[in-house]
Structure 1
C-alpha cells in the first residue's frame, strides 16, 4: 500500500514476472483504477516496436509502464536488454491525477524486483528512444 492509500491489483506482479522471466511480453501499461484505490494492468503486449509502446501513453493522463528495452552498443558487443520503469505524467494531465500517480509510484516500483532504469516523462521527448538509450547504456561498453 502506498502513502496515498493506493494498493496493487493481484495481476500486477505476475504480469511483471512474465515479462522478466518469460521474455514473451515486451511491455506492460499500468493505470489507476477502482476510484484511484488500486494500480491495475491496463495492457500487456509482445509488440517490440518502441513507437507502438509510446503510443499507449495518453496525452492528457498519467500512466506507469514497464518496457524490456533492447539495444546494441555496436562494435560486436551484441544485443543487450534492460527492464525500464516509466512514470508518465504529461504537463496537461489533471493536477489531481499527477499528485496521485506521484505519491503511489513507490508501491508499484518497490514490488517490481529487477528494474534497471527509471524513466520519468512529462512529454514525449523525455521518453524518446534516443533519450532512454542514452540513460540505459551509460557505463556500458566504450562510451
Structure 2
C-alpha cells in the first residue's frame, strides 16, 4: 500500500504480466480511480509508435478533490526496445510517472505519494522515470526517448 493509502488493483498486475510474458501490449497507462481508492488500468496499446503513446500521456485528464477535471497525470509501463552495442534487440519495460508541472497540487501529491505501491506491484522494471514537461517525452535523435536514456 502507498503512503497515500491508495491500493493497486489486481488488473494492473495482470496487464503488466501480459505485457512482459505474452507481449500483448507495447504500453499500459495507469490512473488513480475517480473515487481515489486504487490505481487502475486506464488504457493499453499495441501501437509501436512513441508519438501515439506520448500524445495519450499529454492529453490525459485527472480529477481534483472536488471532482473537477483538469490537466492529468498518469503512470505508464512502456516496453522499450533497443539494440545493444552487440546488435542484440533488447526489450525492457520501464515505469514512467507523468506528473505535469501544470497539474493541480492535489493531483501532483496523490500521484507522487502512490507511485511506490505500483512500483512494488510490478517486479522486473528496468527503469523508473519521472517526466513533468512535454520536453521530457521527446525522442533524443532517433535512437530513444530522452526519458529512457538510462536503458
Q: Indicate the residue corresponding to 1:68 in structure 2.
A: 79
Task: Tell me if structure 2 keeps the 8 A contact 1:119–1:127.
Answer: no
Q: Indicate the residue corresponding to 2:63 in structure 1.
A: none
Q: Which runs of 4+ in 1 moved over 2 A?
A: 127-130
Deviations, residues 42-66 of structure 1 (Å, cap 9, x unaligned) = 0011111111111111352110000
Matches within 5 A, 1:84-99: 84-99=94-109
Q: Indicate the residue corresponding to 1:25 in structure 2.
A: 25
State how far apart, in whole Å, the 2-side matches of 1:115 and 1:129 are. 20
State how far apart, in whole Å, the 2-side matches of 1:95 and 1:49 are. 31
Give 1:126 deviation, angstroms.
Answer: 1.6
Matches within 5 A, 1:34-113: 34-58=34-58, 60-73=71-84, 77-113=87-123
Give 1:129 deviation, angstroms.
Answer: 3.0
* Deviation larger for 53-62 or 124-133: 124-133
Pairs aligned (count): 135
- Cα-Cα RMSD: 1.4
> Which runs of 5 or more structure 1 residues have no equivalent in the other structure?
137-143
Q: TM-score, normalised by structure 2?
A: 0.83
Task: Tell me if structure 1 keeps the 8 A contact 2:127–2:148.
Answer: no
Deviations, residues 9-29 of structure 1 (Å, cap 9, x unaligned) = 221100000001011211000
Q: Indicate the residue corresponding to 1:117 in structure 2.
A: 127
Task: Tell me if structure 1 keeps the 8 A contact 2:93–2:127.
Answer: yes
Task: Tell me if structure 1 keeps the 8 A contact 2:58–2:134.
Answer: no
> Which runs of 5 or more structure 2 residues have no equivalent in the other structure?
60-70, 141-145
